[in-house]
Amino acid sequence: MEASEECHSSFQSPEGSPQDGNPDRFFDAREYESSGGEEEPTTCSTRGDNGVNCSSPPVKFTVGGDQEDYVTCHRHHHSGGAATKDHKLSKSRTRVVDSNLDESFMKKMYLGASIASANSQLLPNQKTRSVQECLEIYRKEAVAKSLTDDEIITLVKDKHIPAYQLEKAVGDMERGVSIRRKILGTSLGTDESLTGLPFENYDYSKVYGACCENVIGYVPVPVGVAGPLKLDNNTYHVPMATTEGCLVASTNRGCRALSDTGISSRVVADGMTRGPVVRFPSAIRASDAKIWLQDVKNFDTMKENFDKTSRFARLQKLQSQIAGRHLFIRFVATTGDAMGMNMVSKGTEAALNALQEIFHDMEILSLSGNYCTDKKSSAVNWIEGRGKSVVAEAIVPSRTVKNILKTSVSALVELNVAKNLVGSAIAGSNGGFNAHAANIVTAIFIATGQDPAQNIVSSNCITLMEPFGENGEDLHISCTMPSVEVGTVGGGTVLPAQSSCLKMMGVSGSAKIPGENAGLLARIICATVLAGELSLMAALAAGHLVRSHLRHNRSSTDVAPESLCLVSEKPAEVPVATQKCTDEDDGSFASLISRKDSKRERAVAAAGSSRPSVSFKLTNSSGSSRGRSSPSETVVKMDILGFPTECKQS
C-alpha cells in the first residue's frame, strides 16, 4: 500500500460523519504557528518521502460545554518529504490548538473525566437510541460527549468514530481511554486481563500528540534511588526505574564506595546524528556530490538550510561514505537540551532538499540510511560518538575496596582485564567493554523519560581499572561512554513523573546555556554507570553475585516454599562454629565475613537448606597487628547461603 492510501484509509471519514464534508480541515498547528500564523489553515496535506500526497480529515469538537470550537490536527509522522499546506480556515472563527501547545484546553480535556462518567450510562427512563439517532447527535454537537459509552462503542464498531480518535470524539481524554479499554476487553473476550493495568488519574494531556497513541493506560515501574552520588563537587540523588532487584542496591553501594573521593567527569563531544541515503545515476555522480559536500563553502549552504529549521539545532559536521551509486551523509548537530532526533531529522530534510536543488539527479531514498545509527548496534557510534560523549573517573582507596566492596584492588584489576577487555574481545563485542552499563542507562532512561530504545547505543562503554597511587594500593576506575543520547526537554521528559525525576537532579527543562542540562544529565549517567560497574565487578570478584540476587532479586510468589527461609525472621539455630582471626583481618565485620573461610562454609553446609540461619563465631584471641590488644569475639548470623544477617562484637 502506498503512503497516501494508507493515510487516507486510516483516517477515513465515513459518509455522514461529522468529519465528512466539513470545511474545517486538519492542519498542524505547529506548522501554522511556526509560519507566524500567516497561513490560512483549512487543509493539511503532507508529502511522504515518495512524494505521494496524503491528507487527513478534521476532528472538530466542543469541550467542557463552553461552546468554544476547537480544530486540531493529527500530527503527520512521515519520515521525510516537504510539507505542503493549504490552510484556508478563518482564524477568527476557529481557535486553533496543538495538543502540546494549549494547556487550558488540555486541562479541560483531562478534568472532563468526572463529567464524562456521569454521561457514560443511560438514565433509568432513557430509551436506547438508534445508531442513526446517535449519529445525528454526534453530528449536531460535533462531539460524542452526551452519548453513553455503549452508544459510542456502537459508533466505533460501525466505523463512524475511529477507535484511536476516541479522546477527540468524546472531548475527554480519560473517558476516551476508558471506552477504548471496554472495546479491547470485548475483543479479548474478557476485561479481566486489563484490571491490573491502571488508567485513571493520569495527565493524558502530556501524552496526547506527543508520547503515545491508542492509549489504554500506563505501566507503573518502581523507581529506586541511588546516592548520594558525589560528582564534580556536587551531590545527586539518582532515580532508577527498574524491576531488577539488586540493581539499585548495587549502584547505591558503588555511590557509597565513592562518597569520600567522588567522581570527576567531562562531556568531550556533543552531536546528534541523522544519516540519510541518497542515490545518483552513477558512482561518478555520487562522488561529485561527496566532493561537493567536502567544500567549506558548500557546508555553509547546507548549514544555513539546516539551522533555519530550529532555534537550537546547529549543524556541526557532515561525514559522507560512498557505496557505488549510493551516498550516505551523516549530519552531526548540537541540539541544545533536547536529545534531538526530531530536530536533526527536520534539519536534515531541509538541507537535503537544498542539495537536491544543486544535484537534480539525486534521489532521496530515505531520510534514515542507518548511517546515523539510531537504535541499532554499530561501530560508527562507538568510534565517532553520538549524542554526548562522556568520560568519568574516580580513585577508590584500598580500605574502601576492602570494607565496602569486600574485595581487593588486585582482584578487581585482574577481573576487569579478563572480563571487560579480553572477554568482550573474545565475544566480538562492539562498545560492550563493560559489565552492565546498560542496566544503569536503561533504569535512568525510563525514570527520566528518555527514549528507552536508545539504550542500545547509549550503553556503549569501556570500563578501565588500574592500580593507583605510590604503591599501587588504590584503584583508578574510569568509564568512557561515547554515545549517550539524552535530553531534558522534548520526548517523554514532559510527562509528570519523568519530569519529577529530572527535577530531583536539577536538570529539568531548558538550561540558561542551551545544552547544559542535557550535558549534566549525561555526566550523571556516566558517573552512575561507574558506581554500578564498581559494585558489580566487586561482587563478581568476591563471588557474591548469586547470593545477592537470590536475596534481592527473587519474588516470593514464584519460589518454592523452602527458599522462603532466605528471608525468614526465625531465630538462628545451631551449629555455632568458632574461628580465630588472622593478622590479615582488621577486625571489621566486613573483613571477617569477606574471608574465604572453609569452616564457615562447612558450618553453612551443615546447617542444611532446612535451617533458616546459622551462627558463626569468630574469635580474635591474640589481637591484630593493627593495635588491638584484648581478645574479642564476633558472632555473625548468616542465612543458609552464608549471607550475613546480623553481627555482634563483644
Active site residues: 244, 375, 451, 549
Farthest-apart Cα atoms in the chain, separation:
96
How far from 435 is each of 58, 205, 418, 440, CA to CA, in Å?
A: 51, 39, 11, 11
**Is the distance from CB of 286 to CB of 324 less than 8 angstroms?**
yes
**Residue (120 or 429) nearer to ligand HMG, CB:** 429
Tell me which residue of 25, 12, 26, 8 sits closest to 159, measured CA to CA.
12
Rg (CA), the chain: 31
How many binding residues for ligand NDP (CB under 6 A)? 22
Grid cell listed for 223: 523507581
74 three-class SS: coil
Q: Which of the 8 DSSP states describes residue 489?
A: B
The reply on whether position 345 binds ligand NDP by CB under 6 A is: yes
Least gap, CB of 587 to ligand HMG (angstroms): 16
The reply on whether position 641 binds ligand HMG by CB under 6 A is: no
Least gap, CB of 570 to ligand HMG (angstroms): 20
How many binding residues for ligand HMG (CB under 6 A)? 19
Residue from 548, 579, 613, 620 in contact with ligand HMG (CB under 6 A):
548
Stretch that binds ligand HMG, among 130-138, 252-260, 508-516, 612-620 (CB under 6 A): 252-260
Q: Which of ligand NDP, ligand HMG, none sits in contact with 336, Cβ below 5 to 8 A by type? A: ligand NDP
In this structure, the strands spanning 83-86 and 69-72 are unpaired
| Phi/psi at 69 (5° precision) | -85, 140
446 three-class SS: helix
The reply on whether position 603 binds ligand HMG by CB under 6 A is: no
Collect all residues with Cβ–Cβ distance below 8 Å to 91 and sequence separation of at least 6. 37, 40, 41
CA dihedral (599, 604, 606, 612) positive or negative = positive
Residue from 252, 348, 455, 579 in contact with ligand HMG (CB under 6 A):
252
Strand partners, 387: 271
The reply on whether position 408 binds ligand NDP by CB under 6 A is: no
Please state the length of the chain: 650
**Is the distance from CB of 292 to CB of 322 less than 8 angstroms?**
no
- Distance between CA atoms of 215 and 71, rounded to whole angstroms? 21
Residue from 74, 168, 206, 256 in contact with ligand HMG (CB under 6 A):
256
**Is the distance from CB of 120 to CB of 175 less than 8 angstroms?**
yes
Q: Tell me, rounded to whole angstroms, the distance of Cα 645 from its chain centroid.
A: 36
The reply on whether position 81 binds ligand NDP by CB under 6 A is: no
**Residue (287 or 316) nearer to ligand NDP, CB:** 316
Stretch that binds ligand HMG, among 17-25, 196-204, 543-551, 607-615 (CB under 6 A): 543-551
Helix axes 149-157, 131-141, angle to 10 degrees: 100
The reply on whether position 490 binds ligand NDP by CB under 6 A is: yes
Considering only residues 310 to 329 of the shown chain, the ones binding ligand NDP according to CB under 6 A are 310-313
Considering only residues 349 to 408 of the shown chain, the ones binding ligand HMG according to CB under 6 A are 404, 406
Residue from 162, 171, 432, 514 in contact with ligand NDP (CB under 6 A):
514
**Residue (329 or 566) nearer to ligand NDP, CB:** 329
Least gap, CB of 593 to ligand HMG (angstroms): 8
**Residue (385 or 587) nearer to ligand HMG, CB:** 587
Q: Which of ligand HMG, ligand NDP, none sits in contact with 420, Cβ below 5 to 8 A by type? A: none
Grid cell listed for 273: 546524528
Kind and range of the H or E run holding 646: strand 644-649
The reply on whether position 175 binds ligand HMG by CB under 6 A is: no
Considering only residues 162 to 191 of the shown chain, the ones binding ligand NDP according to CB under 6 A are none
Tell me which residue of 62, 64, 63, 170 sits closest to 120, measured CA to CA.
170
Stretch that binds ligand HMG, among 123-131, 182-190, 269-277, 531-539 (CB under 6 A): 531-539
Stretch that binds ligand HMG, among 101-109, 444-452, 472-480, 540-548 (CB under 6 A): 540-548
Place of cell 574510569: 478
The reply on whether position 485 binds ligand NDP by CB under 6 A is: no
98 three-class SS: coil
- Distance between CA atoms of 26 and 272, rounded to whole angstroms? 31
The reply on whether position 544 binds ligand HMG by CB under 6 A is: yes
Least gap, CB of 225 to ligand HMG (angstroms): 9
Considering only residues 231 to 250 of the shown chain, the ones binding ligand HMG according to CB under 6 A are 246-247, 249-250
Q: Describe the strand order of the beta sheet including 69-72 as a list of residue ranges.
A: 59-62, 69-72, 95-96
**Residue (72 or 439) nearer to ligand HMG, CB:** 439
The reply on whether position 370 binds ligand NDP by CB under 6 A is: no
Q: Which of ligand HMG, ligand NDP, none sits in contact with 408, Cβ below 5 to 8 A by type? A: none
The reply on whether position 449 binds ligand NDP by CB under 6 A is: no
The reply on whether position 436 binds ligand HMG by CB under 6 A is: yes
CA dihedral (188, 191, 192, 197) positive or negative = positive
> What residues line the site for ligand HMG (CB under 6 A)?
246-247, 249-250, 252-253, 256, 404, 406, 435-436, 439, 535-536, 539, 544-545, 548, 552
> What residues line the site for ligand NDP (CB under 6 A)?
310-313, 335-343, 345, 374, 451, 487, 489-491, 510, 514
